[in-house]
Homo-oligomer: A and B are copies of this chain.
């Protein structure tokens, strides 16, 4: 059985949904970021980076969302969560996930985690002010081309979809008007209707309450 460490409102949601879509036998273990549980000695043994997600498998721990998502796709080939037969098609999905991870998530993180890269309150305020613009810029590229439709990679639903959904959920709080992104908004609607997404969102809410 897999164990996924997550925290509410984080990118770990993508892996959570992917496990559910894959039909995996897993348990989702919630960490409380308010009490800094991700920095506890117990958790640092699981993930020395003190971050979520972390997926505990029989062979060991996997960290980093793009790695976990590709792993789930490969470990559950019947779920068809990525094109596994074609290195180029697989690379397209990986490229999308890497963009979300290293550019879009990073742009978002400057709203509340500026202390990773600066020390002054004035810098944090400056970073916060830029987030609506940088996130809008990232999502313009997604809206205009990367999101092929109806799913990210086209006709096939893949692990890219829960990842995009997870980060798109941050847009409103980041000051980006979803009306300027009709295709992304449409994707969010279709995601919210999926049974796996409904189940995970409900569980997450119940545990956070």
Residues from chain B with a CB closer than 8 A to the CB of A59 are: 88
Interface digits, A75-101 against B, CB 8 Å rule (1 contact, 0 not)?
Answer: 100000000000110111011011101
Identical copies of this chain, number: 2
Contact present for A70 and B48 (CB under 8 Å): no
Cβ-neighbour of A119 out of B75, B107, B129 (below 8 A): B129
Interface digits, A139-166 against B, CB 8 Å rule (1 contact, 0 not)?
Answer: 0010001000000000000000000000
Residues from chain B with a CB closer than 8 A to the CB of A97 are: 67
Contact present for B57 and A70 (CB under 8 Å): no
Contact present for A49 and B99 (CB under 8 Å): yes
Is the CB of A186 closer than 8 A to any CB of chain B? no
Q: Name the distance in Å between A159's Cβ and chain B's nearest Cβ.
A: 12
A83 to B14, CA, bound (A): 25
Contact present for B95 and A98 (CB under 8 Å): no
Residues from chain B with a CB closer than 8 A to the CB of A129 are: 119
Is the CB of A208 closer than 8 A to any CB of chain B? no
Q: Name the distance in Å between A48's Cβ and chain B's nearest Cβ.
A: 6
Is the CB of A123 closer than 8 A to any CB of chain B? yes
A3 to B105, CA, bound (A): 29
Is the CB of A132 closer than 8 A to any CB of chain B? no
Contact present for A64 and B94 (CB under 8 Å): yes
Contact present for A62 and B49 (CB under 8 Å): no
Contact present for B118 and A123 (CB under 8 Å): yes
Is the CB of A68 closer than 8 A to any CB of chain B? yes
Q: Which residue of B lies closest to A144 (CB)?
A: B48
Contact present for A120 and B116 (CB under 8 Å): no
Residues from chain B with a CB closer than 8 A to the CB of A65 are: 98
Is the CB of A13 closer than 8 A to any CB of chain B? no
Is the CB of A126 closer than 8 A to any CB of chain B? yes
A63 to B71, CA, bound (A): 20
A109 to B120, CA, bound (A): 18
A129 to B95, CA, bound (A): 31
